[in-house]
Amino acid sequence: MNLRKLFRDRADAGQKLSAHLDAYRRASPIILGLPCGGVPVAYEIARALGAPLDVCVVRKLGAPMQPELGLGAVGEDGALYVDRETMDRLDVTEEELRDIIATKQAAVERQVQRFRGGTRPLDVRGRTVIVVDDGVATGGTARAALQTLRTRGAGSIVLAVPVGASETLDELAAIADEIVCLHPEETFYAVSPWYEDFSATTEGDVIELLARSRSELARARLERSPGRRASPAPPGRTAIVRDVQIPVDSAWLDGRLTIPPNPRGLVIFAHGSGSSRHSPRNQYVASILHEAGLATLLFDLLTEAEEEIDARTAHLRFDIPLLASRLVAATDWAHQDRDTRSLDLGYFGASTGAAAALVAAAERPDVVHAVVSRGGRPDLAEASLGDVQAPTLLLVGGLDGEVLTLNRETLYFLGCEKLLEIVPEATHLFEEPGTLDQAATSAAKWLTSHLHSHVLESTV
């Protein structure tokens, strides 16, 4: 069955859903995302409403031989929902159910520790709480979340989803105080078909979005505090945000260009293996660079057809010459674009994207003025290292043993200004609390010290 696509991705769904939740702003709500897929949606709502963001950890109870079929769900604080009708239909025994529950409860406890790092959840007692997921099919996880919040003493519970099965939503209406759903659908088999991009949201993505939300909320509160006034943007100057397409051979690469007022330079991102321009980690780093006055271009290194091939083979993500050629194409495009041609260019590469960035920097020495590698593989660009002229910062997690060794070994071959900075307690993906913030801050300092704008004279 060919269903119409309602949303580009989870961020788009969250932005559209937030417009229908503005009435709750006066209630000073708490936004709770259901990990992992509900958190990107919840993040956009929390940002739009200026509200705190947390998670409500729940896990689906999958059938023994058909884990995609939900028997119910478990949640924090021992919340449990079991669909006895489905259990009987699949001939699941009580012993099998107990084993499944024990396994999922352990997973819930592990995720709670991972997402919160030992800190307590937000206090929902007497508060308006908006529970957010990327969609509702059978509703098992939503039920467990709602039960958890009732146990905690939440004042009013709103379930907000972009799309959902009408029958399930009717059932959940008996548990939630209110339900907001943009698209209740009579015919509903799964959540994913309603999205153009339904890429998996990782635990690391959740951690980053939670950290980003806390940082943005704290900054907003500081700006509103007595005696402090936000610096106004220059008259007539606002941020420029453009969806762009970069020509390569006979195809196009999709990207997003963001330019803050009076930019100090442009940073082109080269994402890591298996990722895309939608990477929450890179989007978070980009937000930090925007605050530092740097423009960013996040784009896909592979075409849609190539991404489909790579999803099956995982081959193209390690084709460094191909990835570097795409980065060079983006560099040449930016060097000609009306909004970016006056800006110094730098690269921010992650994983294999960092190797591509170094190769591209060697190919465009007069254009590329700085490179930052996060958890990168410079060894994959070994033949080009001696030709890199752009000052290069290598950011590596202190607990990322193999990659740290590779960076130390290849540092010698870089003949440019260079620095290896180790982020303590960080593993390869910088998922640990505070580590991505540290890496982003270091990247911003490095890039702002080496990139400058060159204002073109206007005849207007």
The answer to whether the CB of 327 falls within 8 A of the CB of 357 is yes
Taking phi over 0 as left and psi of -120 to 50 as alpha, with beta for the rest, 353 belongs to alpha
Please give the chain's pLDDT, 460 residues, in tens.
456 799 999 999 999 999 999 999 999 999 999 999 999 999 999 999 999 999 999 888 878 877 766 787 888 877 787 878 888 888 888 888 899 899 888 888 888 888 876 677 888 999 999 999 999 998 888 988 898 898 889 999 999 999 999 999 999 999 999 999 999 999 898 899 999 999 999 988 898 888 888 877 766 665 554 443 334 445 545 678 888 999 988 788 989 999 988 899 999 999 876 677 777 778 888 888 998 999 999 998 888 888 888 778 877 878 899 999 999 999 999 999 999 999 999 999 999 999 999 999 999 999 999 999 999 999 999 999 999 999 999 999 999 999 999 999 999 999 999 999 999 988 988 888 788 889 999 999 999 999 976 544 433 3
Fold held by 10-217:
Rossmann fold (3.40.50)
CA distance 78 to 90: 24
The enclosing H or E element of 325 equals: helix 320-336
Residue linked to tokens 């980003």: 212
User: Is 233-450 the same fold as 10-217?
Assistant: yes
Q: Which pairs from 174-180 meet CB under 8 Å and 24+ separation?
A: 175/143, 175/146, 175/147, 175/150, 176/131, 176/146, 180/17, 180/20, 180/21
According to the model, what pLDDT value does residue 3 have? 67
> Angle 202-204-208 (CA atoms, 0-180°, nearest 5)?
120
CA distances from 203 to 113, 200, 209, 281, 350 (A): 12, 10, 10, 11, 18
How distant is the alpha carbon of residue 82 from its chain centre?
A: 32
CA distance 305 to 69: 31
According to the model, what pLDDT value does residue 128 have? 94
DSSP lists the bridge partners of residue 352 as none
DSSP lists the bridge partners of residue 330 as none
DSSP lists the bridge partners of residue 136 as 164
Domain boundaries, the chain: 10-217, 233-450
**DSSP of 347-367:** EEEETHHHHHHHHHHHH-TTT
According to the model, what pLDDT value does residue 223 have? 53
Q: What is the CATH number of domain 233-450?
A: 3.40.50.1820
CA distance 33 to 130: 8
CB atoms within 10 A of CB 28: 12
Q: Is the pTM here over 0.85, yes or no?
A: no
**DSSP of 45-114:** HHHHHT--EEE--EEEEE-SS-TTSEEEEEEGGG-EEE-HHHHHHTT--HHHHHHHHHHHHHHHHHHHHH
Strand order in the sheet with 53-55: 53-55, 30-33, 128-132, 156-165, 178-185
CA distance 152 to 206: 22
